[in-house]
Structure 1
Amino acid sequence: MSKKLLFVIAGPRLAGCTAFAARTAAEAARAAGSEVTIVELPKVKGGTTGCISCYGCQRSAEYRCVLDDGMSELVASVPQYDAVVIASPVFFFSISCQAKAFLDRFFCLIKHREDGSIATPLGRVGLAFITTSGGDEDDSGVRNIYGTMRDCAAFLGSGEPKFLYYGLCGDPAVFKADPANAEKAAAFGRSL
Protein backbone atom coordinates (compact mmCIF):
# COMPACT_ATOMS: atom_id res chain seq x y z
CA MET A 1 0.00 0.00 0.00
CA SER A 2 1.34 3.44 -0.87
CA LYS A 3 1.96 6.04 1.79
CA LYS A 4 0.13 9.36 1.93
CA LEU A 5 2.65 12.16 2.43
CA LEU A 6 2.02 15.84 3.08
CA PHE A 7 4.87 18.19 2.16
CA VAL A 8 4.46 21.63 3.73
CA ILE A 9 6.75 24.28 2.24
CA ALA A 10 6.98 26.68 5.16
CA GLY A 11 9.42 29.28 3.96
CA PRO A 12 8.59 32.59 2.30
CA ARG A 13 10.84 32.04 -0.74
CA LEU A 14 8.96 29.57 -2.90
CA ALA A 15 11.83 29.53 -5.41
CA GLY A 16 14.51 29.16 -2.72
CA CYS A 17 16.77 26.31 -1.65
CA THR A 18 14.36 24.81 0.90
CA ALA A 19 11.43 24.79 -1.52
CA PHE A 20 13.62 23.19 -4.20
CA ALA A 21 14.74 20.44 -1.81
CA ALA A 22 11.15 19.82 -0.69
CA ARG A 23 9.77 19.61 -4.22
CA THR A 24 12.61 17.31 -5.30
CA ALA A 25 12.01 15.01 -2.32
CA ALA A 26 8.25 15.05 -3.00
CA GLU A 27 8.75 14.14 -6.67
CA ALA A 28 11.02 11.23 -5.69
CA ALA A 29 8.51 10.01 -3.09
CA ARG A 30 5.76 10.15 -5.72
CA ALA A 31 7.93 8.26 -8.22
CA ALA A 32 8.52 5.62 -5.52
CA GLY A 33 4.77 5.08 -5.22
CA SER A 34 3.65 7.45 -2.48
CA GLU A 35 0.59 9.66 -2.78
CA VAL A 36 1.98 13.17 -2.32
CA THR A 37 0.32 16.48 -1.50
CA ILE A 38 2.40 19.68 -1.56
CA VAL A 39 1.18 22.80 0.24
CA GLU A 40 2.93 26.18 0.08
CA LEU A 41 2.13 27.90 3.39
CA PRO A 42 2.73 31.45 2.11
CA LYS A 43 -0.26 30.90 -0.20
CA VAL A 44 -2.55 29.53 2.54
CA LYS A 45 -5.02 31.97 4.12
CA GLY A 46 -3.85 32.31 7.72
CA GLY A 47 -0.49 30.76 6.85
CA THR A 48 1.35 32.91 9.39
CA THR A 49 -1.30 32.85 12.11
CA GLY A 50 -0.43 30.41 14.85
CA CYS A 51 -2.52 29.29 17.78
CA ILE A 52 -4.15 32.27 19.54
CA SER A 53 -4.74 30.29 22.76
CA CYS A 54 -8.52 30.76 22.65
CA TYR A 55 -9.00 27.11 23.70
CA GLY A 56 -12.01 26.83 21.38
CA CYS A 57 -10.58 23.59 20.04
CA GLN A 58 -10.40 22.15 23.55
CA ARG A 59 -14.11 22.83 24.15
CA SER A 60 -15.03 20.68 21.16
CA ALA A 61 -14.75 16.93 20.64
CA GLU A 62 -13.60 17.66 17.08
CA TYR A 63 -9.88 17.75 16.30
CA ARG A 64 -10.01 21.10 14.55
CA CYS A 65 -8.95 24.70 15.07
CA VAL A 66 -11.91 27.07 15.45
CA LEU A 67 -10.27 29.84 13.40
CA ASP A 68 -11.93 30.12 10.01
CA ASP A 69 -8.99 30.07 7.62
CA GLY A 70 -6.97 27.87 5.32
CA MET A 71 -4.49 26.93 8.05
CA SER A 72 -7.35 25.41 10.06
CA GLU A 73 -8.35 23.29 7.05
CA LEU A 74 -4.77 22.20 6.47
CA VAL A 75 -4.10 21.22 10.08
CA ALA A 76 -7.40 19.32 10.30
CA SER A 77 -6.24 17.21 7.33
CA VAL A 78 -2.94 16.15 8.95
CA PRO A 79 -4.24 12.95 10.63
CA GLN A 80 -5.17 11.46 7.25
CA TYR A 81 -1.49 11.33 6.23
CA ASP A 82 1.13 8.71 7.06
CA ALA A 83 3.77 11.41 7.38
CA VAL A 84 4.11 15.19 7.33
CA VAL A 85 7.28 16.71 5.90
CA ILE A 86 7.83 20.29 7.02
CA ALA A 87 10.30 22.26 4.91
CA SER A 88 11.63 25.42 6.54
CA PRO A 89 14.80 27.44 6.24
CA VAL A 90 16.59 28.36 9.44
CA PHE A 91 15.45 31.85 10.41
CA PHE A 92 17.47 33.44 13.20
CA PHE A 93 18.32 30.16 14.95
CA SER A 94 14.87 28.59 14.59
CA ILE A 95 12.15 27.67 12.13
CA SER A 96 10.33 30.19 9.93
CA CYS A 97 7.21 31.95 11.22
CA GLN A 98 5.15 29.91 8.76
CA ALA A 99 6.50 26.60 10.15
CA LYS A 100 5.99 27.80 13.72
CA ALA A 101 2.40 28.83 12.98
CA PHE A 102 1.71 25.42 11.42
CA LEU A 103 3.14 23.53 14.40
CA ASP A 104 1.41 25.79 16.93
CA ARG A 105 -1.93 24.97 15.35
CA PHE A 106 -1.30 21.27 16.14
CA PHE A 107 -2.68 22.16 19.59
CA CYS A 108 -6.14 21.51 18.14
CA LEU A 109 -5.05 17.95 17.35
CA ILE A 110 -4.66 17.03 21.00
CA LYS A 111 -7.22 16.81 23.77
CA HIS A 112 -6.21 17.05 27.40
CA ARG A 113 -7.80 14.35 29.54
CA GLU A 114 -8.74 14.76 33.19
CA ASP A 115 -5.99 12.34 34.24
CA GLY A 116 -3.34 14.58 32.64
CA SER A 117 -2.77 12.40 29.58
CA ILE A 118 -3.59 13.45 26.04
CA ALA A 119 -5.62 12.00 23.21
CA THR A 120 -4.44 12.65 19.67
CA PRO A 121 -4.93 11.17 16.21
CA LEU A 122 -1.28 11.97 15.41
CA GLY A 123 0.47 9.01 17.02
CA ARG A 124 0.64 7.13 13.74
CA VAL A 125 1.65 10.20 11.68
CA GLY A 126 5.40 10.36 11.11
CA LEU A 127 7.23 13.67 11.13
CA ALA A 128 10.07 14.70 8.84
CA PHE A 129 11.86 17.98 8.39
CA ILE A 130 13.79 19.53 5.50
CA THR A 131 15.84 22.59 6.32
CA THR A 132 18.51 24.79 4.82
CA SER A 133 20.69 27.49 6.30
CA GLY A 134 23.29 30.02 5.34
CA GLY A 135 25.53 28.83 8.15
CA ASP A 136 26.62 25.35 9.04
CA GLU A 137 25.32 22.88 11.60
CA ASP A 138 27.43 24.44 14.35
CA ASP A 139 26.40 28.08 13.97
CA SER A 140 23.04 28.18 12.18
CA GLY A 141 20.61 27.14 14.88
CA VAL A 142 19.56 23.96 13.09
CA ARG A 143 20.23 22.00 16.27
CA ASN A 144 17.43 23.99 17.92
CA ILE A 145 15.15 22.74 15.15
CA TYR A 146 16.29 19.14 15.68
CA GLY A 147 15.41 19.45 19.36
CA THR A 148 12.03 21.04 18.72
CA MET A 149 11.02 18.38 16.21
CA ARG A 150 12.21 15.52 18.44
CA ASP A 151 10.30 16.95 21.40
CA CYS A 152 7.18 17.40 19.27
CA ALA A 153 7.38 13.84 17.92
CA ALA A 154 7.95 12.39 21.40
CA PHE A 155 4.99 14.32 22.81
CA LEU A 156 2.72 13.13 20.00
CA GLY A 157 4.03 9.55 20.13
CA SER A 158 4.92 9.58 16.45
CA GLY A 159 8.43 8.12 16.67
CA GLU A 160 11.80 9.59 15.77
CA PRO A 161 11.49 12.30 13.10
CA LYS A 162 13.57 12.18 9.93
CA PHE A 163 15.79 15.11 8.97
CA LEU A 164 17.34 16.42 5.76
CA TYR A 165 19.69 19.35 6.26
CA TYR A 166 21.71 21.48 3.88
CA GLY A 167 24.14 23.99 5.35
CA LEU A 168 26.11 26.84 3.79
CA CYS A 169 23.41 27.49 1.22
CA GLY A 170 23.66 30.66 -0.73
CA ASP A 171 22.32 31.58 -4.13
CA PRO A 172 19.35 29.32 -4.96
CA ALA A 173 20.44 29.11 -8.61
CA VAL A 174 23.82 27.69 -7.57
CA PHE A 175 22.15 25.33 -5.07
CA LYS A 176 19.72 24.01 -7.69
CA ALA A 177 22.47 23.56 -10.29
CA ASP A 178 24.42 21.16 -8.05
CA PRO A 179 23.22 17.62 -8.88
CA ALA A 180 24.40 16.37 -5.47
CA ASN A 181 21.76 18.55 -3.78
CA ALA A 182 18.99 17.13 -5.94
CA GLU A 183 20.14 13.56 -5.40
CA LYS A 184 20.34 14.02 -1.62
CA ALA A 185 16.75 15.34 -1.60
CA ALA A 186 15.55 12.57 -3.91
CA ALA A 187 17.12 9.90 -1.68
CA PHE A 188 15.37 11.46 1.31
CA GLY A 189 12.04 11.43 -0.52
CA ARG A 190 12.43 7.78 -1.47
CA SER A 191 13.21 6.90 2.16
CA LEU A 192 9.92 8.25 3.51
Structure 2
Amino acid sequence: MRIARSFASPSPALALIGLALLGPGLGGCASAPSAASAQEPHAMTRLHGNWQVGASEMRDAQGRQFTVCTLLQTNEGDRRFWLAATPAAVSGDLYLGLRSPDLPAVEGRVDRKAVIEIDGTRFSPARSQQAGDALSMAIPAAATEAFLDAFAKGANLVVTAADLPRFAQGADLQGSANGRREWRKCIETELQPARS
Protein backbone atom coordinates (compact mmCIF):
# COMPACT_ATOMS: atom_id res chain seq x y z
CA MET A 1 0.00 0.00 0.00
CA ARG A 2 1.32 3.43 -0.93
CA ILE A 3 1.41 5.90 1.96
CA ALA A 4 -0.21 9.19 1.13
CA ARG A 5 2.09 12.18 1.37
CA SER A 6 1.43 15.85 2.01
CA PHE A 7 3.89 18.55 0.97
CA ALA A 8 2.12 21.87 0.60
CA SER A 9 1.04 24.02 3.56
CA PRO A 10 -2.55 23.10 4.52
CA SER A 11 -5.27 25.68 3.96
CA PRO A 12 -7.09 27.03 7.05
CA ALA A 13 -9.94 24.62 6.36
CA LEU A 14 -7.53 21.70 6.40
CA ALA A 15 -5.54 22.85 9.40
CA LEU A 16 -7.65 20.74 11.73
CA ILE A 17 -5.18 19.47 14.28
CA GLY A 18 -1.64 20.43 15.25
CA LEU A 19 1.28 18.75 16.92
CA ALA A 20 1.49 21.70 19.25
CA LEU A 21 4.35 20.33 21.29
CA LEU A 22 6.69 20.11 18.35
CA GLY A 23 7.58 23.77 18.81
CA PRO A 24 8.21 24.12 22.59
CA GLY A 25 8.76 20.42 23.12
CA LEU A 26 11.74 20.24 20.81
CA GLY A 27 13.09 23.66 21.62
CA GLY A 28 16.32 22.22 22.96
CA CYS A 29 17.04 20.14 19.87
CA ALA A 30 19.35 21.26 17.13
CA SER A 31 16.59 20.65 14.61
CA ALA A 32 13.55 21.99 16.46
CA PRO A 33 10.41 22.67 14.40
CA SER A 34 9.69 26.37 14.22
CA ALA A 35 6.10 26.39 15.46
CA ALA A 36 2.95 24.40 16.01
CA SER A 37 2.38 24.24 12.30
CA ALA A 38 2.46 20.48 11.72
CA GLN A 39 -1.18 20.07 10.89
CA GLU A 40 -2.98 16.90 10.02
CA PRO A 41 -1.63 15.65 6.69
CA HIS A 42 -4.22 16.54 4.06
CA ALA A 43 -3.42 13.42 2.03
CA MET A 44 -4.12 10.30 4.05
CA THR A 45 -4.39 6.58 3.29
CA ARG A 46 -7.72 5.42 4.74
CA LEU A 47 -7.77 2.09 6.55
CA HIS A 48 -10.22 -0.13 8.47
CA GLY A 49 -11.74 1.17 11.70
CA ASN A 50 -11.58 4.90 10.91
CA TRP A 51 -7.76 4.78 10.93
CA GLN A 52 -5.65 6.75 8.49
CA VAL A 53 -1.91 6.96 7.84
CA GLY A 54 -0.03 9.77 6.16
CA ALA A 55 3.39 11.36 5.79
CA SER A 56 3.73 15.14 5.80
CA GLU A 57 6.59 17.59 5.51
CA MET A 58 7.62 20.04 8.23
CA ARG A 59 10.33 22.66 8.58
CA ASP A 60 12.49 23.31 11.64
CA ALA A 61 13.64 26.62 13.10
CA GLN A 62 16.54 26.69 10.66
CA GLY A 63 14.27 26.09 7.68
CA ARG A 64 15.37 22.49 7.21
CA GLN A 65 12.68 20.12 6.01
CA PHE A 66 11.86 16.71 7.45
CA THR A 67 9.04 14.17 7.34
CA VAL A 68 6.48 13.27 10.01
CA CYS A 69 4.52 9.98 9.90
CA THR A 70 1.04 10.21 11.43
CA LEU A 71 -1.47 7.53 12.47
CA LEU A 72 -4.89 9.12 12.88
CA GLN A 73 -8.30 7.88 14.05
CA THR A 74 -11.45 9.87 13.36
CA ASN A 75 -14.51 9.55 15.61
CA GLU A 76 -18.00 10.98 15.99
CA GLY A 77 -18.49 14.64 16.75
CA ASP A 78 -15.26 15.67 14.99
CA ARG A 79 -13.19 13.91 17.65
CA ARG A 80 -9.76 12.74 16.54
CA PHE A 81 -6.78 10.95 18.04
CA TRP A 82 -3.34 10.66 16.48
CA LEU A 83 0.24 9.49 16.93
CA ALA A 84 3.14 11.13 15.13
CA ALA A 85 6.79 10.15 14.77
CA THR A 86 9.68 12.29 13.56
CA PRO A 87 13.10 11.18 12.30
CA ALA A 88 15.38 10.06 15.14
CA ALA A 89 17.75 12.92 14.34
CA VAL A 90 14.95 15.36 15.20
CA SER A 91 13.57 13.64 18.32
CA GLY A 92 13.09 10.20 19.82
CA ASP A 93 9.90 11.32 21.55
CA LEU A 94 6.50 10.10 20.39
CA TYR A 95 3.89 12.78 19.83
CA LEU A 96 0.22 12.19 20.58
CA GLY A 97 -2.71 14.46 20.13
CA LEU A 98 -6.47 14.66 20.12
CA ARG A 99 -9.13 17.02 18.95
CA SER A 100 -12.27 17.35 21.03
CA PRO A 101 -15.19 19.78 21.24
CA ASP A 102 -15.33 18.88 24.95
CA LEU A 103 -12.12 20.77 25.74
CA PRO A 104 -12.78 24.14 27.41
CA ALA A 105 -12.11 27.29 25.41
CA VAL A 106 -8.65 28.76 26.03
CA GLU A 107 -6.66 31.76 24.86
CA GLY A 108 -3.40 30.90 23.15
CA ARG A 109 -1.62 27.85 24.57
CA VAL A 110 -2.22 26.34 28.00
CA ASP A 111 -0.07 23.70 29.70
CA ARG A 112 -2.11 20.69 30.85
CA LYS A 113 -1.54 17.70 33.16
CA ALA A 114 -2.65 14.95 30.81
CA VAL A 115 -2.72 11.25 31.66
CA ILE A 116 -3.04 8.46 29.10
CA GLU A 117 -4.43 5.06 30.13
CA ILE A 118 -4.41 1.93 28.01
CA ASP A 119 -6.52 -0.80 29.64
CA GLY A 120 -5.66 0.64 33.06
CA THR A 121 -1.93 1.12 32.46
CA ARG A 122 -1.07 4.79 33.00
CA PHE A 123 1.40 6.83 30.98
CA SER A 124 2.32 10.38 31.96
CA PRO A 125 3.39 12.57 29.03
CA ALA A 126 6.52 14.63 29.57
CA ARG A 127 4.66 17.63 28.18
CA SER A 128 1.00 18.37 27.49
CA GLN A 129 -0.46 21.50 25.97
CA GLN A 130 -3.85 22.66 24.77
CA ALA A 131 -4.31 25.02 21.84
CA GLY A 132 -7.89 25.63 20.79
CA ASP A 133 -9.76 22.33 20.68
CA ALA A 134 -6.56 20.25 20.38
CA LEU A 135 -4.55 18.65 23.17
CA SER A 136 -1.00 17.61 22.29
CA MET A 137 1.27 15.36 24.34
CA ALA A 138 4.81 14.02 24.16
CA ILE A 139 5.84 10.58 25.40
CA PRO A 140 9.58 10.69 26.19
CA ALA A 141 11.89 8.47 24.16
CA ALA A 142 12.63 6.23 27.16
CA ALA A 143 8.93 5.32 27.51
CA THR A 144 8.07 5.06 23.82
CA GLU A 145 8.67 1.31 23.49
CA ALA A 146 6.50 0.48 26.51
CA PHE A 147 3.76 2.79 25.27
CA LEU A 148 3.73 1.32 21.76
CA ASP A 149 3.69 -2.21 23.19
CA ALA A 150 0.63 -1.37 25.31
CA PHE A 151 -0.94 0.41 22.32
CA ALA A 152 -0.49 -2.69 20.15
CA LYS A 153 -1.94 -5.08 22.76
CA GLY A 154 -4.61 -2.82 24.24
CA ALA A 155 -8.31 -2.48 23.54
CA ASN A 156 -9.11 0.97 24.90
CA LEU A 157 -7.12 4.17 25.30
CA VAL A 158 -8.43 7.05 27.41
CA VAL A 159 -6.94 10.53 27.80
CA THR A 160 -7.79 12.58 30.88
CA ALA A 161 -6.20 15.59 32.56
CA ALA A 162 -5.76 16.27 36.27
CA ASP A 163 -6.57 19.93 35.72
CA LEU A 164 -9.67 19.11 33.62
CA PRO A 165 -11.73 16.89 35.96
CA ARG A 166 -14.71 16.65 33.61
CA PHE A 167 -12.72 15.80 30.50
CA ALA A 168 -12.10 12.32 29.11
CA GLN A 169 -11.72 11.12 25.54
CA GLY A 170 -11.22 7.56 24.41
CA ALA A 171 -9.94 5.75 21.36
CA ASP A 172 -10.93 2.22 20.42
CA LEU A 173 -7.69 0.38 19.67
CA GLN A 174 -9.35 -2.81 18.47
CA GLY A 175 -8.98 -3.10 14.74
CA SER A 176 -5.92 -0.85 14.69
CA ALA A 177 -3.49 -3.60 13.61
CA ASN A 178 -3.52 -2.67 9.93
CA GLY A 179 -3.12 1.00 10.75
CA ARG A 180 -0.17 0.26 13.01
CA ARG A 181 1.47 -1.86 10.33
CA GLU A 182 1.12 0.89 7.73
CA TRP A 183 2.37 3.50 10.21
CA ARG A 184 5.43 1.35 10.92
CA LYS A 185 6.01 1.04 7.19
CA CYS A 186 5.80 4.80 6.89
CA ILE A 187 8.40 5.19 9.65
CA GLU A 188 10.68 2.61 8.06
CA THR A 189 10.44 4.00 4.54
CA GLU A 190 10.04 7.73 5.15
CA LEU A 191 11.95 8.41 8.38
CA GLN A 192 14.95 6.09 8.21
CA PRO A 193 18.19 7.58 6.85
CA ALA A 194 18.88 6.62 3.26
CA ARG A 195 21.53 3.94 2.92
CA SER A 196 24.37 4.58 0.52
Common fold by TM > 0.5? no
The higher relative CO (CA closer than 8 Å, separation ≥ 6) is in 1
User: Which of these two proteins has the greater Rg computed from alpha carbons?
Assistant: 1
User: Which category of TM-score, normalised to the shorter sequence, fits these structures?
Assistant: under 0.3
More helix by share: 1
More strand by share: 2
